[in-house]
Amino acid sequence: MVEQAIAKAAVLIEALPYIRRFRDKIVVVKLGGSFMDVPADLQAVCTDIAFMRAVDIHPVVVHGGGKAITRAMEEAGLKATFVQGLRYTGAEELRIVEDVLATDVNRQIVRLLEEAGAKAESLTSKSRCPLRAEPLSAAGAGGPDLGFVGRVVNVDALLLRGLCDLDTVPVIAPIGLGADGQKYNCNADEAASAVARALEAEKLVNVSDTHGIRARPDDESSLLSHISEAEVERLLESGAISGGMIPKVQCLLEALKGGVRKGHIISGRVPHSLLLEIYTDRGVGTEIAP
């Protein structure tokens, strides 16, 4: 029992300099992936976020909901249509996306944060929306129509900072409003990057189903705990970073170029991975620095 108590005290001592260093800093946490479908995993991450707020970090949450959206589409009898690899979003698809993100997923995260002791506020296209968007075409301007798919072009940083000043965790669903009030479905990784840049965040942490970047994709022991922006670029060019990891990494690089100090990729399936990544010397995922 004494040994266990000493071990716990050692963890707290290790965390102390990080608690001091990040006091009053903004950390944007992007939640996405199938780990969110496991209640215990999502609850553990939300508990970590509540802990961060309790020690005076200002977390801002941006979430996706891909798996839940796919299930809702299937239940509605809608088949996914892709244009040059991008999912087309028509009016009916947008309605389902908004219901899942703004009503189901967002409210669940807010509830879990509040149960863990943090104040949280839902920011969605059905309430106060902090994201402004414009329509996105495949292959850029003049490309094929993607329907109501958009990209974030402006973030209401004043609203988000105001909530942080009130010790409240903003929880943002990635649906933006156009200049004419039209709603657009935006990529959650890109939205989180835009929010982090607008807030000049200390960190952007991507919590998903992957443990981080590996030097050798099939070798778990080759996880890179810390890596520079230039090294990430080389891994992208070599193909060591591939598949679904590419857009995550690119959004983190974009955030770093926009003034965010550090980017992180961690797994939501590792218990309390968010705290371990931020408050311990080694962490459990990959930290990317300029």
What is residue 132's predicted lDDT score, i.e. its pLDDT?
98
For 183, the token pair is 């709603």
What is residue 4's predicted lDDT score, i.e. its pLDDT?
76
- Answer whether residue 80 shows pLDDT above 80: no
Give the 3-state secondary structure of residue 104: helix
What is residue 227's predicted lDDT score, i.e. its pLDDT?
94
Each as own residue / partner, the long-range contacts of residues 136-143 (CB below 8 Å, 24 or more positions apart, any chain) are 136/86, 136/184, 138/83, 138/84, 138/85, 138/86, 139/84, 143/84
What is residue 63's predicted lDDT score, i.e. its pLDDT?
98
What is residue 48's predicted lDDT score, i.e. its pLDDT?
97
For 7, the token pair is 């071990």
What is residue 6's predicted lDDT score, i.e. its pLDDT?
79
pLDDT digits (tens, 9 = 90+) for 132-177: 999 987 656 566 788 999 999 999 999 999 999 999 999 999 999 9
Sequence-ordered list of residues with C-beta below 8 angstroms from that of 283, at least 6 positions apart, any chain: 225, 264, 266, 276, 277
Q: Which CATH superfamily is domain 20-79+104-126+157-174+185-289 in?
A: Acetylglutamate kinase-like (3.40.1160.10)
Stretch among 46-50, 172-176, 186-190, 239-243 having the lowest mean pLDDT = 239-243
Element (H, E) at 86: strand 86-87
As a whole number, mean pLDDT of residues 18-30 equals 95
As a whole number, mean pLDDT of residues 248-253 equals 95
As a whole number, mean pLDDT of residues 228-238 equals 93
With a pLDDT cut of 70, the percent of the chain lying above it is 97
As a whole number, mean pLDDT of residues 240-258 equals 92
What is residue 173's predicted lDDT score, i.e. its pLDDT?
98
Give the 3-state secondary structure of residue 289: strand
Provide the whole-model pTM.
0.93
Q: Which of 9-23, 50-64, 143-157, 226-240 has the highest mean pLDDT?
A: 50-64
Average pLDDT of the residues of the chain: 91
